[in-house]
Amino acid sequence: MKSGSVAGAVISAVLAVGTTAPAQENPFDPIFAIMTQDRGPDSQGCRGCHICELPCTPIGPYFGNTQDEVENFFLTFGDGFLIEGGRDSILAGLLRDGVMPLGGTPWCDAELELLYAWLESLAPMDAVIAAQ
C-alpha cells in the first residue's frame, strides 16, 4: 500500500512539472541582442553609438548600457514617441529604411520581425499613450 502512494506522489510530481508554464521570455531579449553588437560596417548593432558604458560620448540619443536601461529608454523617452505606432514607429522606420545603424548593416527581415513582435507586445501601452 505504501509503495502505491509513493508511486502516485511521484507521478503527480512528474505531471505537475510537465504542466508548469515556462518562464515567459521578454520579447525585447532578441532586440537587445542585436542592438548590443559593437557598431561597424558588418554589424546591425548600436553599441558605441547609442549604447555604451558611462562615461561615454554617444552619437545621438543615449539609450543606456544594460538591457533594462535600453528598453526603459524606448518606453519612456518622449512618452514613447520613438516606438509609438508599432511597425510604423520612428524606430521601426529608421531600421527598416536602413538609416540606422549609421554606417552599419541594415536589419534583415527576420530581425525586423523580432522588432515588430516586441512593438506589438506593447500595443496596450500604445492605447494608454493615445488616451493621454
Q: Where are the alpha helices (DSSP H) in the chain?
A: 2-19, 29-35, 67-76, 90-96, 109-121, 123-131
Cis amide leading into 55 (omega within 30)? yes
pLDDT digits (tens, 9 = 90+) for 89-131: 999 999 999 999 999 999 999 999 999 999 999 976 544 444 4
> Cβ(70)–Cβ(35) under 8 Å?
yes
Q: How far is CA 115 from CA 16, 19, 21, in A?
A: 34, 30, 24
**Residue 27 or residue 1, greater confidence:** 27
Which pLDDT score, from 0 to 100, does residue 110 have? 97
pLDDT score at 5: 44
- Output the pLDDT for position 55: 86
What's the pLDDT at 11? 39
Q: Measuring CA to CA, which residue among 124, 105, 109, 114 is closest to residue 45?
A: 105
Rg (alpha carbons) of the chain, rounded to whole number: 21
Q: Name the residue with higher pLDDT: 80 or 18.
A: 80
Every domain of the chain and the residues it spans: 25-131
What is the rounded distance in angstroms from the CA atom of residue 117 to the CA atom of residue 65? 22
Please give the sequence-ordered ranges of beta strands (E in DSSP) within 17-118, or none if there are none.
none
* Cα(30)–Cα(46) distance, integer angstroms: 14
* Confidence at residue 129, expressed as pLDDT on a 0 to 100 scale: 47
**Cell 509609438, located at residue:** 84
The pLDDT, as a whole number, for residue 77 is 95
Q: What pLDDT, in 10s, does the model give residues 3-41?
A: 454 444 333 443 444 444 556 789 999 999 999 999 999
